[in-house]
Amino acid sequence: MQDYSGEEMEWQLVVDPADAGGRLDAALARAVPVFSRNRIKDLILAGSVTINGATVAEPKYRLKAGEALVLVAPEPVEADPVAQDIPLDVLYEDAHLIVVNKPVGMVVHPAPGSLDGTLVNALLYHCGDSLKGIGGVRRPGIVHRLDKDTSGVMVAAKTEQAHNHLAAQFADHGRTGPLHRAYLAWAWGRTQQARGTVDAPLGRDAANRLKQAVRKDGREAITHYMVEARFGGEGWDITRLRCELETGRTHQIRVHLAHIGHPLVADPVYASGFATKSNRLPEEPRRAVEALGRQALHAALLGFEHPATGEDMAFEAELPDDLRRLETALSPFDLAIVR
């Protein structure tokens, strides 16, 4: 199975006897989970599927054992982002790149449902003519992303050379180079160890394609964590962790911490079973948690090699107001076990 990267891609499969008699759209939806059933149907109707070399545009087509299916998904057409005057917290900028502290609630790249108001829209306005073009298009080079409701440090390239150099560092995940990413995370419960590693492959959740899940057939994902502080009282515990990534999968920290039983505080997706935990908190921490409305996660540190000078650079982003209020509310309940 291939991952859909946004470029034209092809999937090939042979109908198993167990799938004989089943519908074409249902079989492809199972085999190519990066697409929804509706998207599969649209691709079939558009003539993107062949069976034994002949185009089949009928989603209800009944399969026969041994038939060779080929699905070709064309490159998606993206909206042309426009420059928008949106305030940015710029931590560093030169002719090659820009480093910003992304705020909570900002989507990184335009997508259906978020065609404007994104970081890309803001960078187009802020950088203007200093953007020298990526792939022949005057746009910022996005080499990594943060979830909409995760705050913190991000870097974007201004030139093709800088984009390629930074992209290679992120692809390496710092295993052989200087790339370094550290996140602050507030998680429910008290971890048994002061430090540890979660090594669990991630893939799309079979029951909800908007979520990620630990899967045996998923992509390698490794998160290292260290306890920075423990807060607690009667019937409740919250641990502040410093998480460092050895890979960079979608929702990686959120899924990994939930996997070991310590989902992020206020995470609406992966901590839904912990929603009532806040009721056990003292008044001030409870108010701070309920006011978050998003996962308690912040990209605090980003280090990398400058693509032009070769200098090792590191940038830190201060906590946003909502997490600062959470820290203040929790501080009287610091158990002082780990320092």
pLDDT tens-digit profile of 99-135?
999 999 999 988 767 778 999 999 999 998 888 877 6
DSSP state of 220: -
Provide mean pLDDT across the span 152-176. Answer: 91
The pLDDT-based confidence of 146 (bands split at 50, 70, 90) is very high
- Cβ pair 277, 188 in contact under 8 A: yes
8 Å CB contact between 172 and 144: no
Q: How far is CA 329 from the centre of its chain?
A: 28
Per-residue confidence at 206, pLDDT binned at 50, 70, 90?
A: confident
Residue 16 belongs to a domain: yes
**What is the per-residue pLDDT for 221?**
95
Query: Same domain, yes or no, for 208 and 136?
Result: no
| Residue 339 within a domain | no
Are 199 and 293 contained in the same domain?
Answer: yes
Residue 9 has pLDDT above 80, yes or no: no
Q: Domain of 259: which CATH number? A: 3.30.2350.10
C-alpha 223: how far from chain center: 14
For the residues 206-229, what does the mean pLDDT come to?
Answer: 93
Distance between CA atoms of residues 330 and 206, nearest Å: 37
Same domain, 147 and 193: no
Final residue of a structural domain among 28, 43, 73: 73
pLDDT, averaged across the chain: 90
Give the model's confidence band at 34: pLDDT under 50 very low, under 70 low, under 90 confident, else very high: low
Cα–Cα distance, 173 to 166 (Å, whole number): 11
Structure tokens of 209? 């394609």
Tell me which residues are annotated as active site: 147
What single string gives the DSSP state of each residue in 48-84? -EEETTEE---TTPBP-TTPEEEEEEPPPPPP-----
Higher pLDDT, 171 or 298: 298
Residue at 81 is within a domain: no
- Please enumerate in sequence order all residues whose Cβ is within 8 A of that of 23, keeping only pairs 6 or more positions apart, or say none: 59, 60, 61, 62, 63
Q: Flag whether 154 is in a domain.
A: yes
Distance CA 46, CA 132 (A): 37
Q: Does 267 lie in the same domain as 317?
A: yes
Asked if 96 and 115 sit in the same domain, the reply is: yes
Please check whether residue 303 is in contact with residue 179, taking contact to mean a CB–CB distance below 8 angstroms.
yes
Closest CA to 317 of 174, 181, 221: 181
Give the Cα separation of 5 and 248 in Å (integer): 15
With 0-12 / 13-18 / 19 or more C-beta atoms within 10 angstroms meaning exposed / middle / buried, residue 151 is buried
Q: Is 256 left (phi over 0), alpha (psi -120 to 50) or beta?
A: alpha
| Residues 329, 209 share a domain | yes
pLDDT over 90 at 1, yes or no:
no
Nearest by Cα to 104 from 323, 306, 268: 323
Say if residue 326 is in the same domain as residue 197. yes
The DSSP letter of residue 103 is P
Both 121 and 43 in a single domain? no
Distance CA 36, CA 112 (A): 15
Same domain (yes/no): 49, 119 = no
From 172, 206, 235, the end of a domain falls on: 172
Burial 306-337 (b: 16+ CB within 10 A, else e): bbeeeeeeebebeebebbebbbebbeebeeee
Structure tokens, 172:
């390496």
- In sequence order, which residues have a C-beta less than 8 Å from that of residue 128 and are 6 or more positions away? 83
Do 20 and 120 lie in one domain? The reply is no
Is 328 a residue whose pLDDT tops 80?
Answer: yes
Identify the CATH number of the domain in which residue 27 sits. 3.10.290.10
Q: Kindly state the helix (H) or strand (E) to which residue 238 belongs, with its residue range.
A: strand 236-245
pLDDT in tens, 94-108: 999 999 999 999 999
- Judge whether 338 lies within some domain: no
Last residue of a domain, one of 150, 172, 194: 172
Query: Are residues 187 and 328 both part of a single domain?
Result: yes
User: Is residue 1 domain-resident?
Assistant: no
Give the chain's domain count: 3
> Cα–Cα distance between 165 and 163 in angstroms, integer?
6
Domain that residue 322 falls in: 182-333
User: What pLDDT shows up at residue 337?
Assistant: 53
Measured CA to CA, the distance from residue 108 to residue 114 in angstroms comes to 9
Average pLDDT over residues 311-337: 94
The answer to whether residues 155 and 284 belong to one domain is: no
